[in-house]
A and B are shown apart, each in its own frame.
Chain A
């Protein structure tokens, strides 16, 4: 691949631009609040773990992480399991209204979350799911299911149809073919789709905040309430922020070889 002159400098500058704000957050999370407010220091002069200790021992803080992970995992499982058969259907068959259905799914991926915030609130209150991880997990399906269908469809289309036909000739029933043959063949696709479902559910705040109040409050919502409280606890806020970056960073590390491909393939 041909590159441009000065590419090292450009890349280095851009990476610094990306990392500098994150460094500042990490830096602040290790400072005491008096150091943050009183002096401008480029690194913590009296490093402390008090903010992290507070988060890991105070239930109102760490339960936020558990709540968030709970609905993110639920959502990923629901999205992938309903999207798999649909992806197969869209990839292999033509049926009444298939194109319209596909466009309708796609349009839901693009719908602004703000439009749905209030109706979701009413809907999930009416059926008694309000303030449970299920409410958020189902609400996030509106953008994650279409996305998962889109990604998986690409991967299923990459599997030659001869494989299906051979399997059926060999006497495989449809469910058995699906689980024993198709799923292992598109395992990397399922991984990429799960990564994107995880990602979009993890970063979303508006719906997650609207649909929970006490029991299932996500970490993102707990953080916003600290922001609005009088007497800002900057160190604690920074530490909580750093901890929300870690799951994402771990997930990226596992899928790093598929990132570029995955974004081009599925980010729609």
Chain B
């Protein structure tokens, strides 16, 4: 069943186009405009061409040094986050109770951190980690571990990472859980007859079935951790020194702190470009996964009684395949 070509559909899309254009294209044009100019206040602007961009990519300048340092910190942060959260999320998803009221209870508690305003997440950990009034900080210090996230770089990093694990591992777990739920019992029965070990079941059945949700999880976590701002800003304010200053924090510092519009705009564009490239890779991979799914033999499709909830996003991109 192919989609009908109908140009009038544009009228249905028009409201979305207008709303998003208003809040995306107009501001983006302002950013492009600023990125080519310099300002000394009083709304006086001077043409600067691509000067900011050159400076941005040159580590010997102040702007470039700050940008590349924060970019490096941010990439390291994202890498650590992914290596912790993805395996932990899988383990938690595999540990979900099978049925009964405890499933709902676990789901609600898992989802709870995701619905707490980001600055409150920061506040919670700020309080929890303080050596004088926080349970974590107090306990660690009374165990003889000298822990203080305000003055020690390493402790600040640990706090920010543990906080992010606390905040977002549930997302990975919920995605994996949705993927696991979609595996028909017949697969497990077949594995049992073959006498497959627990590990073999995981490798041969569960992991392949979680492939696509895991892909979503990895990319979402990469992108969101790459854009992180509020939580570390509340807890550490980017410090001690600059040790937890990630790209977004640096950007806001330059834009709203120093009001250096030209520099901030150039940084914004480069930052946005990086995100856009990752997003494009994501989109392409997802679309190809959808196409492969379409090409898969009919017999496999017949084996699946109901389409996987976890596979939905694939179906959304290629809406004509197996969306129930």
**Residues of A bordering B, CB below 8 Å:** 1-8, 10-11, 14-15, 17-22, 24-25, 28, 36-37, 40, 42, 78, 81-83, 85-86, 88-96, 98, 101-108, 110-120, 122-123, 138-139, 141-142, 145-146, 149-150, 153-154, 157-158, 161, 199, 202-206, 210, 219-220, 223-224, 227, 234, 237-238, 241, 244-245, 248-249, 251-253, 256-257, 259-261, 263-268
Cα A116 to Cα B107 in complex, Å, equals 34
Q: Is the beta-carbon distance between A21 and B125 smaller than 8 angstroms?
A: yes
Cα A98 to Cα B318 in complex, Å, equals 12
Q: Is the beta-carbon distance between A82 and B95 smaller than 8 angstroms?
A: no
Which residue of the partner chain, among A107, A161, A237, A267, contacts B220 with CB atoms under 8 Å? A267
- Contact (A253, B24) CB under 8 Å given A93-B5, A95-B10, A260-B181: no
**Residues of B bordering A, CB below 8 Å:** 1-10, 12-13, 15-17, 19-20, 22-24, 26-28, 30-31, 91-92, 94-98, 104, 106-120, 123-128, 132-136, 138, 166, 169-171, 174-175, 177-181, 183, 188, 198, 201, 206, 213, 216, 220, 223, 226-227, 229-230, 234, 247-248, 251-252, 255-256, 261, 264-265, 268, 271-272, 275-276, 278-280, 283, 309-310, 312-313, 315-317, 319-320, 323-324
Q: Which 5 A-B pairs have the closest CB atoms?
A: A248-B115, A119-B27, A264-B178, A7-B95, A89-B12
- Contact (A238, B127) CB under 8 Å given A3-B98, A18-B166: yes
- Contact (A10, B91) CB under 8 Å given A245-B116, A264-B174: yes
CB distance from B142 to the nearest CB of A (A): 9
Which residue of the partner chain, among A96, A101, A249, contacts B112 with CB atoms under 8 Å? A249
CB distance from B98 to the nearest CB of A (A): 6
Q: Is the beta-carbon distance between A122 and B127 smaller than 8 angstroms?
A: no
Which residue of the partner chain, among B20, B166, B247, contacts A146 with CB atoms under 8 Å? B20
Identify the interface centre among B169, B283, B320: most chain A CB within 10 Å of its CB. B283
- Contact (A112, B272) CB under 8 Å given A1-B180, A22-B112, A86-B12: yes
29 of the cross-chain contacts (CB-CB < 8 Å) are A1-B180, A2-B198, A2-B206, A3-B95, A10-B95, A15-B109, A24-B124, A24-B134, A81-B15, A92-B9, A94-B9, A101-B17, A107-B275, A107-B276, A108-B24, A111-B272, A111-B275, A112-B271, A115-B272, A118-B265, A139-B23, A150-B316, A154-B323, A206-B229, A210-B256, A241-B120, A244-B120, A248-B116, A268-B220
Q: Is the beta-carbon distance between B133 and A37 smaller than 8 angstroms?
A: yes
CB distance from A1 to the nearest CB of B (A): 6
Taking chain A's interface residues, is the majority helix, strand, or loop, or is none over half, making it mixed? Answer: helix
Which B residues are in CB contact (< 8 Å) with A93?
A: 3-6, 9
Closest B residue to A82 by beta carbon equals B15
Which A residues are in CB contact (< 8 Å) with B23?
A: 116, 120, 138-139, 141-142
Q: Is the beta-carbon distance between A112 and B275 smaller than 8 angstroms?
A: yes
